[in-house]
Structure 1
Amino acid sequence: MVYGWPIAGFFTLIVGLSMAEICSSFPTSGGLYYWSAKLSGYYWGPFASWLTGWFNIVGQWAVTASVDYSLAQLIQVIILLSTGGKNGGGYEASKYIVICFHGGILFIHAILNSLPITFLSFFGQLAAAWNIVGVFVLMILIPTVATEKASAKFVFTNFNTDNGDGINNKVYIFVLGLLMSQYTLTGYDASAHMTEETKNADMNGPKGIISAIGISIVVGWGYILGMTFAVTNIPYLLSGDNDAGGYAIAEVFYQAFKSRYGNGVGGIICLGVVSVAIFFCGMSSVTSNSRMAYAFSRDGAMPFSSLWHKVNKHEVPINAVWLSAFISFCMALTSLGSTVAFQAMVSIATIGLYIAYALPILFRVTLARKTFVPGPFNLGRYGILVGWVAVLWVAVISVLFSLPVEYPITKDTLNYTPVAVGGLLILTVSSWIISARHWFKGPITNVEI
């Protein structure tokens, strides 16, 4: 975690810089799939647009499902700790209660996203302030309160080889640890999807992408370091027999206050701060989802397109908002049948989304290498180099995140990421060959500039 975050952050910034350059040239709500269409030329444009668009929108739905489901799980842990913890007879909600929490959270997010854009703008600014202030408070407070602190040697050199997953190789553990960082550093394409509702979009869109990544790298690394100095016994934090039922970060917060003050109330309050931050994250995710669904259906790419690209009197694509919330809820329903199935579904959130990020960048450095017209924000002569590094990084993480995360490999421990992402690829390409190639012509030009 400690080294993986800045490494993943650096390469994510490379991806973001390439996306920002393209966004400056094409500031539209369609974002990635519109870029792919324009950068691929007349012949390849429709297929490139179709492929990018479906990877992008399904990846976004998976992100929303995973973010809001993780909040539902955190609420369950807060209730557990507030009622005495697992070892004190606390109430542990069933998976059915957790899915009800998830549905309720999505419902609230859909309502908030049905409000005029001025309200969303206010909540967005509040979310930014809450995240930054909250992170600084927690990264200082938790290590300060904890009576047992880790040494610098532990924080910067220790690998948890006693993990019960049959993985003892330090390099392999480090590679798997990149997943957390890369999963967290997603969603910055939201700035592109909001450009049609943004002033000076050809500069502010790119600024949004880069600043989102840059601030996350710096502040997030500080948070990780602060938390890691409060960690001493990793196997216990991951044990299902601790007070938080194996929810590691909750146990860190709870034990830090319990060890000093005799109770973990302060830790529960800190978890509340985190839950509000996740709530805002899910809200913004639904915003991005709905704008992508609106733009994609505006170009006729989705079933019942005429329904999803309608806007209300406040110019909010309200049908697309509720569609996004509903599909994200349906994705989380897989958790009731199988944790493995849910994890496979959520894996699309990272790999699927990054493939959608990489496709327009790939087209920019290949098919459009000589024809790309940069906007006000551009990388100059370094654009091609930065683009290739971004594409290669996505290729590398796509392989790394398909590796097994537990041994021995059984049907319950197999990493189903290749199955989920491969299934999405097969469905997308098949639908193109069978049907879409006959009628989908790519983004519809509404206004000639």
Structure 2
Amino acid sequence: MSGGLSTTARLALLARLSKRRTSDEAAPRPDAGSARDFSTLPGMRDYGLLKTALASLEMRSPLFQQHDGLAGAHSLIGNRDVVNFASYNYLGLNGDPRVQAAAKAAIDRYGVSVSGARITAGERDLHLELEAELAALHGAEAALTFVSGHATNVTTIGHLMGPRDVVVHDAAIHNSCTEGIRLSGARRVPFAHNDMRAAEKELAAARRGAQRALLLLEGHYSMDGDAPDLARAIEIARRHDAWLMVDEAHGVGVLGATGKGVAEAQNVDPSGVDLWMGTLSKTLSACGGYIAARRDVIDWLRHTAPGSVYSVGLAPPLAASALASLRIMQAEPGRVTQLQANGRRLVALLRERGFDTGGSIGAAIVPVIIGSSIRTARLANAMLDRGVALQTVLFPAVPEQSARLRFFVSSDHTEADLLHAADMLADASANLGAVESLPGFG
């Protein structure tokens, strides 16, 4: 199939979409018009349109790519070696023999599961060791781990805030944060991405009449690869009597000379942040999340947060893997240095070839903003054909004109890997030609 959509082809696609949609709507459903009709779910129609567009263009979905074996700087997809920019293995620790040995030893001692909530029967010394070292990483008094990074934000924000409160947050914040706000019932006020002037304006206005306020940021933004002005955020939160929470899911192991995150990178006292959130699934090669804060706050969460009290404790091999990864990260800062060098190099290579990497600072996350979801999906498939795996972010996850490819950089990527990726993207883009926006959403 040709790379672009001519006017004739675009009209034909619109006709096929219209015909298929009409046919789908005309087809009788046993629950049509009732409360059991799933087609009324939010976003179901838009998702269906994207699926229909991909099918009409005879395109395979770039999503749910199956990796075989360890997903490091290289991976196997369909029994073929590819350069892998689709995984979070930032410091290459997922396959480190020391990490694997720690996980195996934990299984030998504790089994695969702790078989209970920590508050009742699931507490293990591994949890306490890991939490003590995570707290120290952020200069906090204590920390609490959860079995999911997403659930960490949902349960913490949902439990911390209430209907009389307000949360002012960056518009590019993680979905887990917005879900936590929704659960809390607090008023949600977004501000323009990484605009601290807008943040203060919104917080000042929203603070009046609210019982409590929370200013919510990411340390290294997962969608754009940039970072906030942390010192300014602390100042704004203090001036308006608000808590400051920083989601460092992608910052730990990535920012700062030794990987401690945005506070270290910007030489800011981390104690100015009231709540540090992080995950165990990126740099720390496990699964789960944590909150680091004052001891009284953590003790309260430990005994009352639904995501802790009513959930099984972190699995022993995961806790052991995260702890081993954290210790290796701190003992071998050269991994962090190499990751940062790789990120800067990839941004430079992509920009030299004319690609829009947005505000990426050249660390672990490098977006390439394409615009059209159709073109983004086609480029992702073309890149996989050329031996490069990366992530796609398509409508409706983002507005149709901001669809993008995302490179997740590892310290294990070589200069040859980076050069190959940049050259292949230039080649794929040149050979794809022009592609229209998703019909009806341009």
Shared fold (TM-score, shorter chain, > 0.5): no
Structure ranking higher on relative contact order (CA contacts 8 Å, 6+ apart): 1
Q: TM-score, normalised to structure 2's length?
A: 0.30
Q: TM-score, normalised to structure 1's length?
A: 0.29
Identify the structure with the greater helix proportion. 1
